[in-house]
Every structure is written in C-alpha cells, then in structure tokens.
Amino acid sequence: MKWPCKIAAALVLVGLSCVGWADEAPYTFVVKGVIRAMPGDGRADNEILVKHEEIPEYRDSSGKIVGMMAMTMPFYLAPSASLKGISAGDAVELVVQQTLEPKHTERVVSITKAK
Ligand SMILES: [Cu+2]
C-alpha cells in the first residue's frame, strides 16, 4: 500500500471504531405519550410531535439521570422506526435511545400504539 492509502485506511478504521463506540453507549427507555403531529407541514420526514409523560430515566449531557417533566416536544425517528398504522391523536409507546457522545441526543427506534 502506498502512504495515502495507508492513511485513508487508518482513518476509516478510526471512524468505524468511533461509530461502534457510540452505538454501544445509548441508554434505552420507553416513553408514553400522545401523537400531536405527524411528519410534514414544515416538519422533517422523521419528526413527530409528541405530548409525553414524565421521563424519569432521561439523562443530561454528563450522563447524570435528571428526568424530564411531561411536555409536548418533537422526537426524531431512527430509520428502524415505522409509522405504519400510527396517526395523530394516537396514544403511543416510544422506545427511545439516548446517546451522550458524540452528541447529546434522542431518537425513536420503535413506536407502537399503547394498549
Ligand atoms: Cu420532553
């Protein structure tokens, strides 16, 4: 391998290991709420608006459990989350993954109607 190739290969490995580490880090919890708005109407394709109940497991950016009070806020869907059969007004349970690194963020990995 020539030098530029070695450097490129090393960068790919570093990148992959960072992604892998981030994927192992998320915290997962269930959020109960009611769908207030579906994607569209100025919302991103993967964005829903949810009036959610209190989330006791929510962590701040340092990883400390601080909880989140009940509120209405947007949630972003991971590619794995399907909205099939879900519509505005539905009571739902969201399985949410929270990641601290490289960014403090949450995403919905699955969504089901509440029983
Ligand atoms: Cu919230």
CB of 91 closer than 8 Å to CB of 109: no
For residue 44, give the CATH number of its domain.
2.40.50.320
Tell me: pLDDT of 10 over 90.
no
* CA 62–ligand 1 middle distance (angstroms): 18
pLDDT tens digits along 37-46: 999 978 999 9
Query: Quick one: average pLDDT of 96-109?
Result: 93
Query: Would residue 39 count as lying in a domain?
Result: yes
Q: Do the domain assignments include residue 17?
A: no
Q: How far is the CA of 20 from the centre of ligand 1 (A)?
A: 27
* Protein residues with C-beta less than 5 angstroms from the ion ligand 1: 68, 71, 73
Domain that holds residue 85: 26-113
Give the pLDDT score at 2.
Answer: 64
Count of the separate structural domains present in the chain: 1
Q: Is residue 80 part of a domain?
A: yes
Asked, for residue 96, whether it belongs to a domain, the answer is yes
Whether 41 is covered by a domain: the verdict is yes
Residue 18 CA to ligand 1 centre (angstroms): 28
Is 79 among the domain residues? Answer: yes
Q: Is position 11 within any domain?
A: no
Q: Could you tell me if 96 and 106 are in contact, meaning their C-beta atoms sit under 8 angstroms apart?
A: yes
pTM: 0.77
Q: Give residue 33's pLDDT.
A: 98
Give 13-22 pLDDT, tens digit per residue.
444 444 444 4
* C-alpha span between 49 and 37 (Å, rounded): 5
**How many angstroms is it from 74 CA to the middle of ligand 1?**
8
Of 14 and 77, the structure prediction assigns the larger pLDDT to 77
Name the residue with tokens 């601290």: 100
Give the Å distance between the CA of 80 and the centre of ligand 1.
21
| Residue 8 included in any domain | no
The pair of three-digit structure tokens given for residue 38, joined into one six-digit string: 């579906």
